[in-house]
Amino acid sequence: MAIPRIAALAAVIALALPGCATNPSGRSQMLLIGDAQVNQMGLTAFNQMKASDKLSTDPAKQRYAECVTRAIVAQLDPQWRQLPWEVAVFNHTAANAFALPGGKVGVHTGLLKVATTQDELAAVIGHEIAHVTHRHGAERISQGMAAEVALAATQAYVGRKQSPEEARMALALLGVGAQIGVMLPFSRLHESEADIAGQALMARAGFDPQAAVSLWDKMHAENPARPPQWLSTHPDPERRRDRLAARVEPLRTARDPASPRPACTVP
Ligand SMILES: [Zn+2]
């Protein structure tokens, strides 16, 4: 089986977009999987979760999560803004949220208990959407450890059915590991990029960038031993928090005072 697999992988690489790209933070990335493929993976994952997980039936929560997401998406570059953005609220006690390539956002009801203001929810959603616009999922899939998954993803894209294990691994690489019981956090570099870009994004949308810090403090105080996935494992959490804090005043100053603040009703 080895030779066909290698041949198929070579085909994946040959079909992929030119391997190197520069992400919005100015860092060069190796990408062996194109946007269309990774968006399809995101859509498949989202549909699977909507079919198997419990969706919230509270329309106020749904409206709230959509309102915050919409305000953030409005600040994205056109190539990202034009995606068919969709938000689902899941009945889940873990204080998590995720964003998948292709423009699919999931918010757990447990997060709404901790993120008690629109600004705090925007801090998490901004961070998750920044993972998408930085193509962190595609980058992880493209890294050596993920060659098999890139192959499986491409086969799924062209219609071959993935094995459950391949599907689980693909989901974990896209950043929804906690949802499926595979812990595979984003790297420290990816988290730093998502922190900085996400906070800038939510501030541009009119939310208060201080909420990225206050939410961090709340979550950490509540459960210092086991942070949720969006705060995932990080060797130096204090430094990460301090970097967010240092950005608050510059982001507040840069904001256009004439632009309206979002008014999302907290359910
Ligand atoms: Zn993250």
| CA–CA gap between residue 106 and residue 121 (Å, rounded) | 12
The pLDDT score that the predictor gives to residue 80 is: 96
Asked whether the predicted pLDDT for residue 60 surpasses 50, the reply is: yes
What pLDDT band is residue 79 in, cutting at 50, 70 and 90?
very high
Q: Is the pLDDT of residue 83 over 70?
A: yes
Q: For the chain, give every domain's residue range.
A: 2-254
Residue 3: what pLDDT?
44
Q: Please report the DSSP string for 92-151 in residue order.
A: -SS--EEEETTTEEEEEHHHHHH--SHHHHHHHHHHHHHHHHTTHHHHHHHSGGGHHHHH
Distance 160 CA to ligand 1 centre (A): 30
Distances (CA, A) of 187 to 80, 174, 205, 216: 23, 12, 26, 18
Q: Ligand 1 mean position to 232 CA, how many Å?
A: 7
In this predicted structure, which of 67-81, 121-135, 147-161, 253-267 has the lowest mean pLDDT?
147-161
- What is the distance in A from the centroid of ligand 1 to the CA of 155? 27
Q: Which residue has the higher pLDDT, 127 or 29?
A: 127
The C-alpha atoms of residue 224 and residue 241 are separated, in whole angstroms, by: 13
Does the annotation count 128 as an active-site position?
A: yes
pLDDT at 152: 60
pLDDT of residue 15: 46
Encode pLDDT of 168-224 as tens digits: 666 666 666 555 445 455 677 888 899 999 999 999 999 999 999 998 888 777 766
Strands of the 86-90 sheet, one edge to the other = 86-90, 104-108, 97-100
The answer for 155, left when phi > 0, alpha when psi is -120 to 50, beta otherwise, is alpha
Distance of CA 66 to the CA centre of its chain: 15
Taking the centre of ligand 1 as the mean of its atom positions, its distance from the CA of residue 215, in whole angstroms, is: 14
Active-site option among 66, 120, 128, 191: 128
Residue 104 has phi, psi (to 5 degrees) of -115, 125
Q: Is the pLDDT of residue 157 over 70?
A: no
pLDDT of residue 94: 85
Q: What is the pLDDT of residues 92-146, one digit of tens each?
A: 988 889 999 999 999 999 999 999 999 999 999 999 999 999 998 888 877 654 5
Give the pLDDT of residue 23.
84
Tokens 């969006």: give the residue.
Answer: 230
Write the CA distances from 260 to 81, 119, 204, 206, 251, integer angstroms.
Answer: 19, 14, 10, 7, 15
> Could you tell me the distance, in angstroms and rounded to a whole number, from the CA of residue 95 to the centre of ligand 1?
13
- Whole-angstrom CA distances from 212 to 25, 243, 249, 266 are 19, 11, 12, 17
pLDDT of residue 17 exceeding 50, the answer is: no
**CA 40 to ligand 1 centroid distance, Å:** 21
* 104 vs 25: which has the higher pLDDT: 104
Q: In this structure, are residues 88 and 42 in contact, taking their beta carbons and an 8 Å threshold?
A: no
pLDDT in tens, 237-265: 677 888 999 999 999 999 888 878 999 99
Q: Once rounded to an integer, what is the mean pLDDT over residues 50-61?
A: 92
